[in-house]
Amino acid sequence: MNQPEWNIKAPSATCQVCGRAFTDQEPFVSRLTFGAEGYERCDCCTACWPEARKAESLSIWKSVFRVPPPPPPEPIRRETAESLLRQFMETEDPSRRNAIFILAVMLERRRILVERDVKTREDGLKVRFYEHRKTGEIFVVPDPGLRLDELEHVQKEVITLLGGPAPGQPSNEPGESPSHESSADQPTESDA
Ligand SMILES: [Zn+2]
């Protein structure tokens, strides 16, 4: 198999049938197909959809177009679940399969991704389609069908990669606290 099992597909800024640019907050329909060239995404306006829907699809979902926000002013220093997921999905390393799945589930719980569909490909692979709430990208993530004990193991690995315990779990690590308590008013030894 030459095609990677996972993929991220960004939305098109224009209808791929009539070529008209989407406006902000415009509803549109997306279609994903899987063929010899791998995953292919087609976005079209609601007017073009009756024609576009005749093609065979792996998954179809409705979405709302959002004009992309400007890039963040500063690069994010710390690895986040999202940056790690994107990093892993750029590789074709099969050992990342479980971690990719866990990261996608984590981001779904945090409401960054929303699951749009679950389908079984013709080759038998079960894939989950997550839509990024802000960017409209579709993350195609194979479901490795992990058992609960495997799930916990992979989850721990991922949390270690992220450099700390998952949110909601107590952190006993000094210096890991995300709070910004100022120590400026406290005298230090060098001041004395
Ligand atoms: Zn159109």
Separation between Cα atoms, residue 129 and residue 7, nearest integer Å? 10
* Listed residues: CB within 5 A of ion ligand 1: 15, 17-18, 45, 48
Average pLDDT across the chain, whole number: 83
CA 16 to ligand 1 centroid distance, Å: 7
Tell me what pLDDT residue 26 has: 96
pLDDT band at residue 190, thresholds of 50, 70 and 90?
very low
Separation between Cα atoms, residue 67 and residue 26, nearest integer Å? 10
Is it the case that residue 162 has pLDDT exceeding 80?
Answer: yes
Q: Where are the domains of the chain?
A: 7-67+77-161
Q: Model confidence over 8-33: pLDDT tens digits?
A: 999 999 999 999 999 999 999 999 99
The angle that helices 148-161 and 81-90 make with each other, rounded to 10 degrees, is: 100
26: left (phi over 0), alpha (psi -120 to 50) or beta: beta
Query: Which of 109, 121, 118, 162 minimizes the C-alpha distance to 139?
Result: 118
Share of the chain above pLDDT 90, in %: 58
Higher-pLDDT residue of 183, 131: 131
- Burial category of 36 from C-beta neighbours within 10 Å (exposed 0-12, middle 13-18, buried 19 and up): exposed
pTM here is 0.70
Separation between Cα atoms, residue 38 and residue 9, nearest integer Å? 11
Distance of CA 107 to the CA centre of its chain: 7
Tell me what pLDDT residue 75 has: 61
Separation between Cα atoms, residue 28 and residue 102, nearest integer Å? 29
CA 52 to ligand 1 centroid distance, Å: 9
CA 70 to ligand 1 centroid distance, Å: 26
Q: Model confidence over 41-96: pLDDT tens digits?
A: 999 999 999 888 888 888 999 999 998 877 776 665 567 899 999 999 999 898 99
pLDDT band at residue 189, thresholds of 50, 70 and 90?
very low
